[in-house]
Structure 1
Amino acid sequence: MSTTKQVKTWFQIHKWTSLICTAFLLMLCVTGLPLIFHEEIEGLEPRLAPTLPASTPKVSLNKLVETGLQANPSKVIRFLYWDDHQPNTVTLSLSDSLTAPPTNFKTVIMDERTGKVLEGPNDQEGFMYVMLQLHTDMFMGMGGKLFLGLMGMLFVLAIISGLMLYGPIMKRFDFGMIRTEKSSRLKWLDLHNLLGVVTVAWAVVVGFTGVINTLSEVVLGLWQVGQLAEMTAPYKNAAPLTGKLSSLDQAFEVTRRAAPEMEPYLVAYPGTMFSSKHHYAVFAKGKTPLTERLIKPALVDAKTGKLTDMRDMPWFVNALFLSQPLHFGDYGGLPLKIIWALFDLVTIVVLISGLYLWFARNKATKAQIARMGQSKAKQIENAEILTLNSPATDD
């Protein structure tokens, strides 16, 4: 393929991938800004649990579950977990039934030292909830997630095609040039190119991890039909559970003994999507900043209280868990989050300038076609592609 055809091909790829995804990328960048600082924003919320002496003993998990269900007699418990932003609390996720859809739930927050039910905020309202839903699925569920994943892939392709166009140009010009003596369109073009190259590594990382995050339900589904099915296979033909379940405290204790370097943080009850009909699924995470994103599931027989299996997650599940904090810059504390926010703002400028350049180029091309006639349309389009970055080019 000739150089001219290569440039035209990359130009068309860059143009159309950018045009298709830009509006959605702008929305993701705007909603992503407050989400970068979600931990700091959530930290401003008042603590639900009162201050008590550090030596205050904790109520047993069995007692907490019993109290939570007594306050909600028509509900069943599906999950129990700890919220890092609300110390000294345990959260129960209740539902109308174990087979109800994931959106059917009610959270009950309890003081793990007194066993009292606390008045918590509504997690399904407010500014941060709206930002999160727009950013993850646009309130469209899994279909919205997959659509945004497609937009993320187009964004990555737009970045690659932009580099393929910008690389040959920089062989002829100084890096970072801004042709201020030329037209407004050329100044914006140079600024668009410069900012795009400066943020390229960040944009690829955030775009790629964003695509991975949109596949979370697919990834967890593969884990369910793969590793989880293998772990629960010996119980496939077992009789249904009857009577009282074994101690939840015991399930956590056997998990701690099996993985002393990890800390249990969530349990899925028997019959839920992340367990089996016969097990507590206790999920443990590492205790250090480097390992806290690596999850290990333990299956505890809900009748006998014995550990039946515990394995490391498959690589593709770990990739998902590791990509989630990287997407929002959660690995390096506030300094990294500030850098992430600055790159986000620069990317907004790149996206807006790209739209401006397309509209300006389209307008200029139409004006020339009107002056010169339709027979020159193809030549003008080719000239726009091949000479736009020439020093002699002007509007």
Structure 2
Amino acid sequence: MATIKSVKRWFWWHKWTSLICTAFLLLLCLTGLPLIFHEEIEELTEAKKELTHAPDAKPVPVDEMVKTAVAHFPGKVAKLVVWDKEHPGLVNVTVGDSPSSAYQTDKYVAINAYTGEIEDTPVVQEGFMWVMLRLHVDLFAGIPGKLLMALMGILFVIAIVSGIVLYGPIMKKFDFGMIRTEKSSRVKWLDMHNLLGIVTLTWATVVGLTGVINALGDVMLYAWQQGQLTEMTAPYKNAKPLTGELSSLDDAMKIVQQREPEMQPYFVAFPGTMYSSKHHYAVFVRGNTPLTERLLKPALIDAQTGQLTDMREMPFFVNAYFISQPLHFGDYGGMPLKMIWALFDIATIVVLISGLYLWFARRKSSKEQLARMEASYNLTATI
């Protein structure tokens, strides 16, 4: 009896967690499919630009590139400088209304690092891929949307675990992968649902867990700001606001490069932005291997004196967030892995649709059975 109760309990968990999150998961799978191939789609839809410079050209000072970007958008201030990994030799400068202004008002300037000339001023907040990304990440609802997606991801993982518990005892009686073609349509769909569910098990678990981590990225960033970053900037808690011209960003880069010669720059956050304090440049560097290039190390440079004040490894939960991003989209193994990710994504869509079909079919079957019982009762009562 205890076993029957346990099975019923797991079935209840599997049914309701699946039903609650299915619509959201279908949306995530459908929007995730083009996002897997976002680089290839962008190459096809965007005009290609070749970066040209003299063979013996040296990089233009970062300070000059920042001045160029700010001059291109009068009234804006520099917020971020990002070294483009996909296009070596290209530096992207983000400018905004203020260091802490919302990203929706930001402008972007892509500069040739060897000529100092502006290559492009991309508008990233429009187009098909932008819509797919926003639907996938937060449903255009900001932080509440991300938290909702995180909850749906947790329910998805529970549905996977409960499905495993239910699938094990069932398969003791049948061969693995069996499809009972001689049975009703509902039974055939049930077998297909179970088969695809178990085949995509590992992938779905990985994508589900990394999706939850990605959705909680803002929460993790806030925890880092309130924890490690606050600790690193504690001596500046009562410091006077910055005045006058800031120290050289190029000098700051040299200091960090001397401290970590085996690492390369990823991005620099200006004072007052969400990645820094009100008194520091935050220079983020990364490794050179496929794994370490996802792990960032921040260095804080006093923006008034140009001195290095602190440099530490990021907390484990932030590193987990950085690693989960490429893992979620299969974006670390080239086209073969992307194709595998896409096939599993499509198989998961079939699992979700078949699950909905089975639920509706079961409800219809139960109603028909109840109608037959009532008809039988009424017929008996009239005899």
TM-score tier after normalising by the smaller chain length = over 0.9
- The answer to whether the aligner puts 1:167 opposite 2:168 as a matched pair is yes
Q: How many residues align?
A: 376
Of stretches 110-119 and 351-360 in structure 1, the one that deviates more from structure 2 is 110-119
- Match of 1:109? 110
CA distance in 2, matches of 1:196, 1:225: 41
Q: CA RMSD in A?
A: 1.6
CA distance in 2, matches of 1:374, 1:11: 30
**In 2, are the aligned partners of 1:58 and 1:113 still within 8 Å (CA)?**
yes
CA distance in 1, matches of 2:252, 2:47: 32
- Match of 1:235? 236
Of stretches 167-176 and 37-46 in structure 1, the one that deviates more from structure 2 is 37-46
- Match of 1:217? 218
CA distance in 1, matches of 2:22, 2:323: 26
1:204-231 deviations in whole A, cap 9, x for unaligned? 0100100010000000000001000111
Matches within 5 A, 1:49-198: 50-198=51-199
CA distance in 2, matches of 1:374, 1:291: 69
* Matched letter for residue 22 of structure 1: T
1:258-290 deviations in whole A, cap 9, x for unaligned? 111211110010111211111100000111112
CA distance in 2, matches of 1:329, 1:154: 22
- The answer to whether the aligner puts 1:23 opposite 2:19 as a matched pair is no
Unaligned runs of 5+ in 2: 378-383
Deviation at 1:372, TM superposition (A): 0.5
**In 1, are the aligned partners of 2:110 and 2:122 still within 8 Å (CA)?**
no
CA distance in 2, matches of 1:176, 1:73: 64
**In 1, are the aligned partners of 2:83 and 2:265 still within 8 Å (CA)?**
no
- Match of 1:385? none
Deviation at 1:102, TM superposition (A): 3.0
CA distance in 1, matches of 2:85, 2:119: 16
- Match of 1:358? 359
Deviation at 1:104, TM superposition (A): 2.4
**In 2, are the aligned partners of 1:63 and 1:115 still within 8 Å (CA)?**
yes
1:281-307 deviations in whole A, cap 9, x for unaligned? 000011111210000000011112111
CA distance in 2, matches of 1:322, 1:119: 29
**In 2, are the aligned partners of 1:48 and 1:119 still within 8 Å (CA)?**
no
The verdict on how the C-alpha distance between 1:119 and 1:373 changes in structure 2, with shifts beyond 3 A counting, is same
CA distance in 2, matches of 1:95, 1:122: 13
- Match of 1:383? none
Deviation at 1:39, TM superposition (A): 2.6
Deviation at 1:117, TM superposition (A): 2.1
1:161-198 deviations in whole A, cap 9, x for unaligned? 11111110111111111111110100000010011001
- Match of 2:380? none
**In 1, are the aligned partners of 2:17 and 2:156 still within 8 Å (CA)?**
yes
Unaligned runs of 5+ in 1: 377-395
SS of the aligned residue for 2:95 comes to strand
Deviation at 1:110, TM superposition (A): 1.6
**In 1, are the aligned partners of 2:262 and 2:287 still within 8 Å (CA)?**
yes
The verdict on how the C-alpha distance between 1:335 and 1:220 changes in structure 2, with shifts beyond 3 A counting, is same
Deviation at 1:136, TM superposition (A): 0.4
CA distance in 2, matches of 1:252, 1:21: 46
SS of the aligned residue for 2:53 comes to coil
Of stretches 109-118 and 261-270 in structure 1, the one that deviates more from structure 2 is 109-118
Runs of 4 or more off by more than 6 Å in structure 1?
Answer: none
**In 2, are the aligned partners of 1:213 and 1:324 still within 8 Å (CA)?**
yes
1:17-62 deviations in whole A, cap 9, x for unaligned? 1111111101100110111122333344434453233322221111
Deviation at 1:364, TM superposition (A): 0.9
Deviation at 1:115, TM superposition (A): 1.6
- Identity fraction in percent: 63
- Match of 2:381? none
CA distance in 2, matches of 1:220, 1:14: 32
CA distance in 1, matches of 2:55, 2:325: 33
Matches within 5 A, 1:199-348: 199-348=200-349
CA distance in 2, matches of 1:119, 1:314: 35
**In 2, are the aligned partners of 1:49 and 1:87 still within 8 Å (CA)?**
no
CA distance in 2, matches of 1:290, 1:8: 43
